[in-house]
Structure 1
Amino acid sequence: MFYLPGFDPREPEVYWGLFRREARLTASRRGAAITVGDPVRSADGLDLAWSVQSRGVNTRYVLLRWEDIVGARFPQSGWARLRGVPTLLWRLWRSGYAAALHREGWRFSTVIFGVHLIYLALVGLSLALAGGLVALAPDALRPWSLLTVPPLAYAILAGLMRVTRGKPLYVSHLVDDTAFTHAYAAGAAPEMAPRLDAFAARIRAAEGEADEVVVVGHSSSSFLGIEVLDRVLARDPGFGTRGTPVTFVSIGSVIPWLGLDPAAQGFRDALLRFGRARQIGWIDVRAPWDWLSIHAQNPLAACALTPPDPERPAVLGVMINDLITGSDVRRRQWNLFQMHFQLLMASQSVGGFDYLDLMTGPEPVHDLIARGRENGLREGPDGDADP
C-alpha cells in the first residue's frame, strides 16, 4: 500500500500514529486482531513504512513523503500572500475558473473562496485597526505617525493569521494550499517533478513483490497520485499487466480543483491518459458530506474531458452515518479538516466502510471495483451525491 498524503507539513510519524490508533479501534469493533509495526524511514528519506498483520494478511504500508515541500510553501510570508492572493483571484475570475468550480462543487468552492474573502477582510481590518491606533497619536506627530500605518497593519495581520490558522477557519492553510495548487497547475512548482519521479520509481519497483499494489491519494494527492501513475506508465506501459493487480484509490478527491484551471493542460492530458489505462483499477471513495472534496460527477467529466470509460472510476459512496454516530456528527460537522480526514479513520459501524479494514483486510482492494459499481452514488437533482 502506497499512501500519498495531502497538503500537510506535519511529520509522517503523525500519520503512523493515526493509523495505529484507528487500527486498534477497528480491531476492537470488528473482532479482528490488527498488529501495526514500528515506522522506519527509508535511507533516502523519501518514505516512511511500517508493517501490518491482520487475519493472515501481511501488508507493507508505505507513506510517500512530500511534507518538506509543503513546509517550504506553508506558511507563506505575509508579503507573499499580500501580493499573491489578489493576483490569483483575478486570474481565476477572469478565466472563468471560479464560475466553473462553483458549478462543479459549490460547497468546496464556497469554502475556498470564502476563506480568501475572510483573508481580504482581515487585511482590511488590520488597516482599519492600524489607522485607528495612529489616529490616537498627538496632532504634532500625526504626519509622521501616518508612516507607521503599513508596518503596524502588517504586524496586526500577522497576529490575525496566526489566530485563524487552525480550526475552525484554517485561513492560512487553505489560502496557501490554493496558492500551491494553482502554482502547480501553471508549472510554477518545479520541486514537485523530481519527487513525483521518485515516487513513480518506488511504485514501479513494487510490482511482482506482492499479491497486489494499491496507491492511495488523499485530498491534493488525488491528483498527484494520477500524475505519479501516469509517470509509471510512461516509463513502463506494461505496468499492471503482468499478474500483479494495481489499484488507485482516490479518497477525499479534489481533482477538479486542479483540472479546471486553464493553466493545467499538462494535468488534463495525464488525467485523460490515466482514464484510458484500464490495466490499473480506479476506485473513487466519495463522501457528499465532506466540504473539502469535490464529488458530484466523474472526475474526467468534471474537468471538461470526455471519459473514455463511463464506468471508470468505480464509485464507492460513504455516508457519514456509516462512520460516526449522530452525536459525533453534531460535534464534528463544522470542523472541516476533521470531517475531511474522517474517511481515514475507524468506522463506529460494524458493517460500514472502514479504511483500516480496507487496507488490512483479507479482501483484495481490486475486488471492490465491481462492488463500487453496484453500490455507487446517484446524482441528485441539485448535482450533489445521494446515498
Structure 2
Amino acid sequence: MPLHRHVFFIAGFDPKSPRYYHRLYRELAAHRPPGAEGTEHGPVQVGERRRLNDWADEWEVHWPQAGAAPLRTRYTLLRWDDIVRAHWERTAANVWRDHWNFYVDGARQGFFGRAWRASRLNWFFIVFPLCLALLLAGCWAVAAWLLCAIVAVPTPVGSVAVGVASALAGWWTWRRLSHRTGTDWLMRLYGFSHAQAAGRVATLDVRVDAMASMMAEAMRTNAPAQEVLVVGHSTGATLAASALSRALALSPSPGPQGPALGLLTLGHCTPLVYYFATARILRNELDALTDHPDLTWVDYTAPADWAGCGQIDPWHRPGRARLQRLSPRFPKILTAGHYQSLKRNRLALHMQYLKPSDHAGRYDLLAFTAGPGTLRGRHPPAPAASPHSS
C-alpha cells in the first residue's frame, strides 16, 4: 500500500509520554462527529505504537475510501518530554526565577512592548500570572499589617513571626489558586520560553537538529509519501517551525517530483520566544521558512486560548510561502455546555485542538493528518485569513 502522507507531530510543553498522545489520536479517530469527512466509508484505523529510538515513536493510520484501497499515513511523534520533565520541578526558587526572568528581563528586552502593539488581548493573557502573584502578595502584606496593628504585636520578633506566617500563607494560597487558574502551568511555559530564546537549553537544540534530519530524509524525492506534514501543538509549534527550517536547509526543495510540504500549527505560542531580543536564531529560521515558496503553513489558534497567541502571527514576517491564520471556531464545533466547561479550564481548552469535536466543521485534525488531499489543497488562498471569533 503506497504511503499517502508522512506526519511529524511535536507536542507542547508537556511531560506526558508518547503513550498519552497515541491514546489521544486513537480517541480522535474513534469519536467522529456525525457528518464528519469520511465517516460514510467506515472507521479510521489507528495502528499500534512502536518505538523508533529514544526520541521518536510511530504508528500507521488507514483512512477508508469507497472502491479504493485505504489511504495510508505514517504518523511519527517526535519526543522531547524528557527535556520538559527536566524543567518541570516547581520549588519556590524556580517560581521566583521564572517570574523574574520572564517579566523583568522580558521588559528589559522590549518583549511586552512588542506584545502590546500586536494584541492587547494576548498581552493581558501574558501578564495575568504576574498580576495574580502581585495581587496575592499585596493582600497578604495588608493582612499582616492589619494583624500587627490590631493585635499590637509588642516585639520585633512578633512582627517577624507574623510576617513569616503571612508569607507562608501567601505561598500556600498562590500554589492553590495558580493551579486552579492554570497560571502555574503557564509560568512553567513562560520560564522555559525565556531560556529557549536565550539558547540556554542545549539539549533542546540537539534534539531539534535530530528532528530536522528525520524530516529532511522524508522530503527527499525518493521518499514515497505524497505529502510531508509537520504538526506542532503549543510550544511544539515553535519547535516544529525551527526543525522544519533546519530540514529545508539540509534538503532545500522537494522539487516537482517530491512530496507536498505542509506545516500545521495548533494553539501556537511562537511569539513567547521570538519577541525576546535574544531569539535571533529563531527569527532567522522563521524568516527562512516563510520565504520558501513550496511551503504551506496553516495555523489554527483560538483567540480565547490563554496559552496560545491567537491574535498574533506565528511567523516573524510573511514571505513567499502560503500562510493562513485561522480559528478552529470551537463554539461552532462543540456543544454550548462543552465549550463553557472548557472556558473554565484553560488547560483543557488548550488541549482541545487534539481532541474530538461534537459537531463537524472546517477544523478536523484527523482529516488534515490522515484524510485525502494535502494541507495546501484544503486551504486555498483567501482574501482574508484572520481568525474568526472563539
TM-score band by shorter chain is 0.7 to 0.9
Match for 1:363 among 360, 363, 373? 373
Q: What one-letter code is carried by the residue in structure 2 that aligns with 1:367?
A: G
Contact conserved, 1:240 with 1:280, CA < 8 A, in 2? no
1:163 matched to which residue of 2? Answer: 176
SS of the aligned residue for 1:187 comes to coil
Contact conserved, 1:26 with 1:357, CA < 8 A, in 2? no
SS of the aligned residue for 1:289 comes to coil
SS of the aligned residue for 1:18 comes to helix
The alignment of Structure 1 onto Structure 2 pairs a total of residues equal to 372
Q: For each residue in 1:218-238, what CA deviation from the matched residue of structure 2 results, as whole angstroms up to 9, or x when unmatched?
A: 111222111101111222223
TM-score, normalising length from structure 2? 0.83
Contact conserved, 1:74 with 1:173, CA < 8 A, in 2? no
Contact conserved, 1:317 with 1:376, CA < 8 A, in 2? no
Q: Closer, same or farther in 2 for the Cα pair 1:151/1:2, shift >3 Å? A: farther
Q: For each residue in 1:277-319, what CA deviation from the matched residue of structure 2 results, as whole angstroms up to 9, or x when unmatched?
A: 122322222433333322335444xx4x4x233x631344432
Q: What one-letter code is carried by the residue in structure 2 that aligns with 1:227?
A: S
Match for 1:235 among 239, 246, 250? 250
1:20 matched to which residue of 2? Answer: 26
Q: Closer, same or farther in 2 for the Cα pair 1:130/1:16, shift >3 Å? A: farther
2:290 matched to which residue of 1? Answer: 275
Q: Distance in 1 between matches of 2:33 and 2:61?
A: 12
Q: Closer, same or farther in 2 for the Cα pair 1:110/1:344, shift >3 Å? A: same
1:53 matched to which residue of 2? Answer: 62
Alignment of 1:146-157 (within 5 A): 155-156=168-169
Which stretch has the larger CA shift, 172-181 or 355-364?
A: 355-364
Which stretch has the larger CA shift, 30-39 or 50-59?
A: 30-39
1:172 matched to which residue of 2? Answer: 184
- Report the CA distance between 1:119 and its aligned residue: 2.4
Q: For each residue in 1:73-102, what CA deviation from the matched residue of structure 2 results, as whole angstroms up to 9, or x when unmatched?
A: 123321122244235322222333212212
Note the residue ranges of structure 2 that are not aligned, 5 or more in a row: 1-6, 65-69
Q: Distance in 1 between matches of 2:234 and 2:365?
A: 15
2:134 matched to which residue of 1? Answer: 120
Contact conserved, 1:322 with 1:352, CA < 8 A, in 2? no
Is residue 354 of structure 2 the alignment partner of residue 344 of structure 1?
yes
Q: Distance in 1 between matches of 2:354 and 2:384?
A: 19
SS of the aligned residue for 1:88 comes to helix
Q: Distance in 1 between matches of 2:153 and 2:178?
A: 37
Contact conserved, 1:358 with 1:365, CA < 8 A, in 2? yes
TM-score, normalising length from structure 1? 0.84
Match for 2:199 among 187, 197, 200? 187
Q: For each residue in 1:29-79, what CA deviation from the matched residue of structure 2 results, as whole angstroms up to 9, or x when unmatched?
A: 53331122222233x320222222221112222211111111111233211
Q: Distance in 1 between matches of 2:22 and 2:146?
A: 48
Q: Distance in 1 between matches of 2:147 and 2:257?
A: 70
Q: Distance in 2 between matches of 1:117 and 1:240?
A: 50
- Report the CA distance between 1:248 and its aligned residue: 0.8
1:312 matched to which residue of 2? Answer: 322
Contact conserved, 1:222 with 1:254, CA < 8 A, in 2? yes
Contact conserved, 1:137 with 1:145, CA < 8 A, in 2? no
SS of the aligned residue for 2:232 comes to strand
Q: Which has the higher contact order (CA 8 A, sep 6+)?
A: 2
Q: Closer, same or farther in 2 for the Cα pair 1:272/1:145, shift >3 Å? A: same
Q: Closer, same or farther in 2 for the Cα pair 1:317/1:377, shift >3 Å? A: farther
Q: What one-letter code is carried by the residue in structure 2 that aligns with 1:341?
A: M
Note the residue ranges of structure 1 that are not aligned, 5 or more in a row: 379-383
Which stretch has the larger CA shift, 225-234 or 203-212?
A: 203-212
- Report the CA distance between 1:269 and its aligned residue: 0.9
Q: What one-letter code is carried by the residue in structure 1 that aligns with 2:59?
A: W
Q: Closer, same or farther in 2 for the Cα pair 1:352/1:84, shift >3 Å? A: closer
Q: What one-letter code is carried by the residue in structure 2 that aligns with 1:52?
A: V
Q: What one-letter code is carried by the residue in structure 2 that aligns with 1:93?
A: A
Is residue 262 of structure 2 the alignment partner of residue 224 of structure 1?
no
Q: Distance in 2 between matches of 1:260 and 1:28?
A: 41
Which stretch has the larger CA shift, 53-62 or 102-111?
A: 102-111
Which stretch has the larger CA shift, 349-358 or 124-133?
A: 124-133
- Report the CA distance between 1:189 and its aligned residue: 1.8
Aligned residues: CA RMSD: 3.1
2:4 matched to which residue of 1? Answer: none
Q: Distance in 2 between matches of 1:136 and 1:386?
A: 51
2:214 matched to which residue of 1? Answer: 202
- Report the CA distance between 1:165 and its aligned residue: 4.9
SS of the aligned residue for 1:374 comes to coil
- Report the CA distance between 1:174 and its aligned residue: 0.8
Q: Distance in 2 between matches of 1:131 and 1:14?
A: 48
Match for 1:98 among 104, 107, 112? 112
Q: Distance in 2 between matches of 1:133 and 1:65?
A: 51
Q: What one-letter code is carried by the residue in structure 2 that aligns with 1:195?
A: R
SS of the aligned residue for 2:307 comes to coil
Q: Closer, same or farther in 2 for the Cα pair 1:314/1:88, shift >3 Å? A: closer
Which stretch has the larger CA shift, 130-139 or 143-152?
A: 130-139
1:381 matched to which residue of 2? Answer: none
Contact conserved, 1:97 with 1:262, CA < 8 A, in 2? yes
- Report the CA distance between 1:114 and its aligned residue: 0.9
Q: Distance in 1 between matches of 2:374 and 2:149?
A: 68
Q: Distance in 1 between matches of 2:340 and 2:254?
A: 45
Q: Distance in 2 between matches of 1:14 and 1:131?
A: 48
Contact conserved, 1:317 with 1:377, CA < 8 A, in 2? no
